[in-house]
Amino acid sequence: MVGIDFGKPLFTSEEIQRKIHELGSRISQDYAEKDLLVVGVLKGALFFMSDLLRSLKISVRMDFIHCTSSKGTQPVRIIADMSEDIRGKDVLLVEDIMDSGVTIAHVKKMLLARNPASLKVCVLLDKAERRKVQIEADYAGFRIPTKYVVGYGLDYKDRYRNLPYIAVLPMDEKMR
Ligand code: IMP
Ligand code: MG
């Protein structure tokens, strides 16, 4: 990206695509006999969702929820709810990263109250050591250390989502 040195990617776009194909194969097998509804959490899941869907070998439908993630004491806020009625449906929630787990736990609770047949969670990145609530993803791409990462949908102040790879945010960018 012009003017910013992100250094060596944490995950290159090739590594990301390889991982997505692994996840896609598992999901295709697990839902082979089901009618899956994939629900992406915007904005972070945008690119992951689009590549994951294209790696699936099964017929699926898609929907989106737009929410702000929890930050400190700031609660999760739903900006736009999904349009589909999920009662009795097999739902897979797709998110960019699970950190404290608060955001996914909140969305999961909200969706479970609507009585889906099943509800699973798929994340590309997992900062497992940072968990504040007891929740695990059913499908997780890469486990990463406690570092702030950007790219491939992940942002810092809503920027750098369009990097085609994932990189650790340079310290001097945090200072700006
Ligand atoms: P949680 O509620 O703490 O699990 O946070 C999840 C949300 O925080 C994600 O949906 C991201 O929007 C954001 N987030 C957490 N860690 C990172 C990171 O390293 N880079 C970019 N966004 C992050
Ligand atoms: Mg975010």
Which H or E run includes 17? Answer: helix 13-30
Determine the distance separating the centroid of ligand 2 and the alpha carbon of 116, expressed in angstroms.
Answer: 26
The pTM of the full predicted model, rounded to 2 decimals, is: 0.95
> Would you state the pLDDT for residue 89?
97
Q: What letters, b where the CB count within 10 A reaches 16 and e where it falls short, cover 88-120?
A: ebbbbbbbbbbbbbbbbbbbbeebeeeebeebb
* pLDDT, tens digit only, all 176 positions of the chain: 777 888 999 999 999 999 999 999 999 999 999 999 999 999 999 999 999 999 999 999 999 999 988 777 788 899 999 988 999 999 999 999 999 999 999 999 999 999 999 999 999 999 999 999 999 999 999 999 999 999 999 999 999 999 999 999 987 767 66
Best CA proximity match to 134, nearest among 98, 110, 90: 98
Q: Which atom, in ligand 1's list, is nearest to the CA of 154?
A: 21
Closest ligand relative to 95 C-alpha: 1
Q: CB neighbours (10 Å) of residue 59?
A: 8
Query: Looking at residue 175, what is its pLDDT?
Result: 62
Alpha carbon distance 22, 28 (integer Å): 10
Question: Quick one: pLDDT at residue 65?
Answer: 97
**Residues, CB within 5 angstroms of ligand 2 (ion):** 44, 69
Instruction: Determine the pLDDT at residue 43.
Output: 96
Is the CB–ligand 1 distance for residue 154 below 6 Å?
yes
What single-letter DSSP state applies at residue 153? T
**Closest ligand relative to 156 C-alpha:** 1
What is the pLDDT, as a whole number, of residue 70? 76
| Residues classed as catalytic | 99
Q: Is 103 in the pocket of ligand 1 (CB under 6 A)?
A: yes
